A and B are shown apart, each in its own frame.
Chain A
Amino acid sequence: MLIRLEPRGGRSLRWAYGSPLLALVLTLITTAVIFAMLGKDPLVSLYTFFISPLASATGRPELLVKAAPLVLIAVGLSLGFRANVWNIGAEGQYTIGAIAGGGIGLALYGDENVLTFPAMMIGGVLGGMAWAAIPAFLRTRFNANEILTSLMLTYVAQQLLIYLVTGPWRDPEGYGFPQSRLFDEYATSPNLVPGTRLHLGVVFALIVVALGWLVLAKSLIGFQLKVVGQAPRAARYAGFSEPRLIWFSLLLGGALAGLAGLFEVAGPVGQLTPSISPGYGFTAIIVAFLGRLHPVGVLFGGLLLALTYLGGEKAQIDLGMPNAVTGIFQGILLFYLLACDLLILYRVRIGQRAPAAKAAAAGP
């Protein structure tokens, strides 16, 4: 028996939407098997992981809180990935955004006013952009691969954060813990619904989805990103500047990642600590692919992967499962998605390679 691929000769719209759903179903089945192998009841585990976080009134807003940074980062990454600009250092840009924006909040400690938080947001955006500008410069000026440079800078950013919160920015009243002061109310992302942790970042995530859609679907720059990614020669032919698009992609990705980082430390976390991210910058890569590199898709992808964070915590508390299950789930989901995407461009045929030739061979 042979599995053969046959080009469709175009994109199948049905599978463009069907592929993520099929991938999700296959992932759920595989995860259930893993749960069973860990000695847990698969159905109970799946329920705990995917349903119970949404069952409580506190869980649903929390989903949005977790999805906000993922969506913010992933919209930026999606536009860049369209242009084959592989910024995989969003985690580092997130960290620097948190440091730069949070640093403004700490610097103004005691003198906060209504302008403090907007200043911190600008700081977060600029911090993320600055960090992303390094790989952009190195790629356009020196041809250095942005995958490796942006990733290396993530490790550097992490060390910088540890240095700051254990050294100069450590909370003087923090009993020596590696963390900064708590941000003042003026230096905190405004809360939207009392009693929840919903904050301004959620609104920004939605705005960014809408703007991202506008840029990608309707604007000249979005068109340029798509052309340079699919056919670099056609982009040069049309006079689109590749270096400019690399700069745009990285700066946009860095700005949104930096903003996400600032919202996180000045929102749910409330201070700078060495663990301000459960890997949002990396998970956002999966969100981007799951969302078909499309801002609206990213919104749904972000909600799903936010659920895996909540589910992972829940499973840890209720079932004593290791937190790493979240990572496994995310990795498997991306595997299946990449495999299922094949169906968009190809038909899968199962069976003998060429029955006709066989018939002819059996002939005279």
Chain B
Amino acid sequence: MVTVAGGPGAAATASARDGAALLRLTGIVKQFPGCLANDRVDLAIPAGEIHALLGENGAGKSTLVKIIYGVLRPDQGEIRWRGELVHIANPAFARKLGIGMVFQHFSLFEALTVAENIALGINDPAQRRDLKKRIVEVSQSYGLPLDPDRAVHDLSVGERQRIEIVRCLLQNPRLLIMDEPTSVLTPQEVERLFQTLRRLSQEGRAILYISHKLEEIRALCERATIMRLGRVVAECDPRQETARRLAELMIGNELKSPSHRTTGADGKGARLVVQGLSLRSDQQFGTDLKDISLSVAGGEILGIGGVAGNGQTELTAALSGETLAERADAILIDGRPVGLLGPGARRISGATFVPEERNGHGAVPAMTLAENAFLGAFRRLRLVRTGLIAAGQTAAFAGRVIQSFDVRTTGPAAEARSLSGGNLQKFIVGREILQAPGVLVISQPTWGVDAGAAAAIYQALLDLADAGTAVLIVSQDLDEIFSICVRIAVIYQGTLSDARPIRDVTVEEIGLLMGGAHPEARKGPSHANPA
């Protein structure tokens, strides 16, 4: 079944002609049903270069690197590796060529050990011998400490990424692809990663670095290819460009920035209060919540930052009532103790919720928008009459959400899965906001959403707060929190820091909190070298 194309007979002569580029893509086209993911993409990377691939979510970056790594096959176009025309039929072949990849969502096996995970990425049986010893060697020489016998589910996110990198390095790659490697790391971990990458580059290895974080790319990369809507729109030296210029290239049009807020609370007191909330996670790899306290006043937007997997999921589930607290007064909505009440009672008490995941959590993909409107709103809007669904009112409400939030769809009878990510997110946010809640808890409001939809969602959240609602935003995107929140707290390993006014904190302080350090404890001159 597996076809390994691009036989060795092809061209020894070609490599001389095209020797400058380690990897050269020409005219790559990839069509998915309803979406042209790559449209005649060209890309060239010489040996030893750290090359950025920059673009928004949905620009086609991930599709392109999956083609390079042999996970997807292009519909058109050619790939030359060291000048030779190749058909990368599968990742095993890519690895044989000398291409290694670190995925954004790590392709790790939770139930297996570090060594087993790495063994799975190595094709040559001879190389699997003495594997544990070599893992220790490589990880030490690059400053990536790892214990080969530990099971992956015990490891932190940063440690997991190390597995992926060590797995690649063991195969001595000429090109290392990194897909959004820093999205899950603390600022300090990021600095450490960059040191490793620079060292690899000095050894003559090329790195294709995929990101949408402008400052990172300016700090790390020598060359950048910028993609938008499946096409390459520019190539430049990012060190010579301003972040603003890169952003314009990436986004393509001027954005309306949300109105900045200097005042927060409307003075009528806290509408959402959490006091001493502790919860053991019942999930296999979950995070326990430890003594969490916070309060959000009407008219205020509080942001909770933090690296993924530090208890955000558990906290939002505890707030929405999907998991119950141990005491009723651990959570108060408008003064009413709701800690022991389920999601329905909490909604009736005045709160609404937007979960992080759209498909299968905030909405049911195979159900219509009307049904999905019912899902979140039937209690507050009383859409049930003697056990039966009030179909007319439900459809009318769904129509109102679609209209008010400019959801691009054919109408309330459309299935949720027929909508793009941004449109579905607008629908869900709209559904929760139009119920006029006293408290809104929203998780990752603009994850995977295009810039236009993100701006609309921000504006809606600001308007809601102006109308007196207490808004709590849980987000991994610090830019987002800094641009619309009034106060910020950081969650780290299930513990929440004190909330502080945005204008009093710096990104560096927040970064330290995200990594578990307390900035207050380190007054005075900032420490020289965290690594």
Contact = CB atoms under 8 A, between A and B. Distances in A.
Interface stretch (B167-175, B228-236, B355-363, B460-468): B355-363
B322 A237 contact: yes
Interface in A205-220: 214, 218-220
Nearest to A217: B389
B38 to A, nearest CB: 12
A231 B361 contact: yes
A231 B367 CA distance: 10
A114 interface: no
A7 interface: yes
A363 B322 contact: no
A5 B239 CA distance: 45
B360 A234 contact: yes
Given A219-B387, A220-B387, A221-B387, A230 B73 contact: no
Interface string A6-36: 1111110000000000000000000000000
Contacts of A360: 27, 74, 76-78
A199 to B, nearest CB: 31
B384 A220 contact: yes
B287 to A, nearest CB: 17
Given A219-B387, A219-B389, A239-B344, A231 B364 contact: yes
Contacts of A10: 415, 417-418
B421 interface: no
A307 B360 CA distance: 40
Given A236-B322, A238-B343, A239-B347, A354 B75 contact: yes
A223 B365 contact: no
Contacts of A233: 355, 357, 360-361
Contacts of B73: 353-354, 357
B134 to A, nearest CB: 37
Nearest to A223: B389
A220 B389 contact: yes
A11 B344 contact: no
Interface in A49-79: none
Interface stretch (B199-207, B370-378, B483-491): B370-378
Contacts of A238: 343-344, 375-376
A227 interface: yes
A292 interface: no
A357 B75 CA distance: 5
A226 B415 CA distance: 14
Contacts of A9: 33-34, 417-418
A1 interface: no
Main secondary structure of the interface of A (DSSP, over half): helix
B320 interface: yes
A231 B389 contact: no
In this complex, the member of B5, B378, B387 whose beta carbon has the largest number of chain A beta carbons within 10 angstroms is B387
Interface in A173-209: none
A214 to B, nearest CB: 8
A243 B429 CA distance: 29
A234 B33 contact: no
Interface string B16-45: 000000000001010001100000000000
A230 B367 contact: yes
A239 to B, nearest CB: 3
Contacts of A350: none
B343 A234 contact: no
Interface string A322-364: 0000000000000000000000000000000110110111010
B366 interface: yes
B415 A11 contact: yes
A353 B322 CA distance: 45
B87 interface: yes
B417 A6 contact: no
In this complex, the member of B75, B363, B384 whose beta carbon has the largest number of chain A beta carbons within 10 angstroms is B75
A7 B347 contact: no
Contacts of B33: 6-9
B321 A239 contact: yes
Contacts of B391: 218
B397 interface: no
Contacts of A11: 366, 415
B285 to A, nearest CB: 16
B388 interface: yes
A234 B364 contact: yes
A231 B75 contact: no
Contacts of B345: 239
Interface of A: 6-11, 214, 218-221, 223, 226-227, 230-231, 233-234, 236-239, 241, 353-354, 356-357, 359-361, 363
Interface of B: 5, 27, 29, 33-34, 73-78, 87, 320-322, 342-345, 347, 353, 355, 357, 360-367, 371, 374-376, 378-379, 384, 387-389, 391, 415, 417-418
27 contacts: A7-B33, A8-B33, A9-B33, A9-B34, A9-B418, A214-B388, A218-B389, A218-B391, A221-B387, A227-B364, A230-B364, A230-B365, A231-B365, A233-B357, A234-B360, A234-B362, A237-B355, A237-B362, A239-B321, A239-B345, A354-B73, A354-B75, A356-B75, A357-B73, A357-B75, A361-B5, A361-B78
Given A239-B344, A239-B347, 19 more contacts: A10-B417, A221-B387, A230-B367, A231-B360, A231-B361, A233-B360, A234-B363, A237-B361, A237-B362, A237-B375, A237-B376, A238-B343, A238-B376, A353-B73, A354-B75, A356-B76, A357-B73, A357-B74, A360-B77
